[in-house]
Each structure stands twice: as C-alpha cells, then as structure tokens.
Amino acid sequence: MRELFERGDAVAVLPYDPRTDSLVMIEQFRPGALRGEESPWMLELIAGVVEEGERDMDVVHREAMEEAACELSDIVPIATVFPSAGACTEQVRLFCGRVSSAAIGAVHGLQEEGEDILVHSIPRVDALQMLADNQIPNGHTLIALQWLHIHGSELRERWC
C-alpha cells in the first residue's frame, strides 16, 4: 500500500540584481528542518502555493511582495521539479527574476500565516560559495543556485 499526499503545486523565484550581482534570499523557520544540531532557519528562495485559478506569474509577484517587498521583472524559467515524487503530488516550478527593488534587512510575511521572514541581499559569489560548501540544504534553492552558476554571467550581460 502507498500513501500519497495531495499538496498542490507551488512556484519559487530567485530574485537576481544584475547591477550589484547579488541575490535576494529569505530566511525563515522550517519545522521539518528541526532535527539534531541542524538549524531550522533556512536561507531560501521566495515561494508560494499556486491556488486554483492562479497563474504562476501572479503567484511569483504576490509572494515576492509579501515575503520581501521585492519587485521583479524579466522572469525566466529555471526548472520544474517534483521534490518528493515517491509520496507527494506537488510540482514546483522554479524561476529567476530581475530585481527592481527589495526590502533588504526587513522582516516580512503575513501575520495570519505566522510568517517571520528576514530578507537578505547576498553577493552571487558568496551564494555560490555557500553552495560549494554544502551550506544550502533546501532543494529548490540548491537547484536555482546551480542554474545561476551555469547561466549567471550570461544573464548579467543580458540584464545590465
């Protein structure tokens, strides 16, 4: 017998500022990461669940504003992944978006959702070093940073 968790789909976006060659990333508490000596506070992409009738781009823009007061343009697809296909139907569509503005250092999130989200600006080179040092345990973020490692220079040239 197999159990299957019907969660719905989600989107996630990696905000990139080509002028400063930096990323907007958020940090928030994740109870699933509360184990042993590992920190349950994760540095990750902006993300949200796609509600029925919503378009991915609407969710990307809504979540970017809710979680980081971040305005995005020039959104490009990264990948579509099944984070846990053995037990969950969720599909996550990953994107990279050009940052117009963001509330770096501020705490955001919806009070009714219990969100307590700290907004960071991280130089691309530092984020990629964190990736190389195995300091990114979040799968969506890991995939997006690997994509940026491959496409970042080209993207910066195109967006600057």
Residue 105 has pLDDT above 80, yes or no: no
- Residues that are catalytic: 113
| Domain membership flag for residue 104 | yes
| Domain membership flag for residue 4 | no
| Domain membership flag for residue 2 | no
Residue 110 has pLDDT above 80, yes or no: no
With a CB cutoff of 8 Å and minimum separation 6, the contacts of 126 are: none
**Domain range for residue 99?**
10-155
CATH code, domain carrying 33? 3.90.79.10
| Domain membership flag for residue 3 | no
Instruction: Please say whether the beta carbons of 68 and 26 come within 8 A.
Output: yes
- The pLDDT of residue 120 is 93
- The pLDDT of residue 33 is 81
Q: Could you give phi then psi for residue 63, rounded to 5 degrees?
A: -65, -35
Q: What are 96's two structure tokens? A: 């990279």
Its pTM stands at: 0.90
Q: In the chain, pLDDT over 90 holds for what percent of residues? A: 66
Q: Could you give phi then psi for residue 65, rounded to 5 degrees?
A: -70, -45
The Cβ of residue 112 has, within 10 Å, a number of other Cβ atoms equal to: 6
Q: Can you tell me the mean pLDDT for 106-118?
A: 68
Q: Which H, E and C letters describe 76-127, residue by residue? A: EEEEEECCCCCCECCCEEEEEEEEEECCCCCEECCHHHCCCEEEEEEEHHHH
Please tell me what DSSP assigns to residue 13: E
With a CB cutoff of 8 Å and minimum separation 6, the contacts of 69 are: 101, 102, 103, 106, 108, 119
Q: What is the per-residue pLDDT across 55-100, written as a single tens digit (0 to 9) for each?
A: 999 999 999 999 999 999 999 999 999 887 778 778 999 999 999 8
Residue 6 has pLDDT above 70, yes or no: yes
Q: What is the tally of structural domains in the chain? A: 1
- The pLDDT of residue 113 is 61
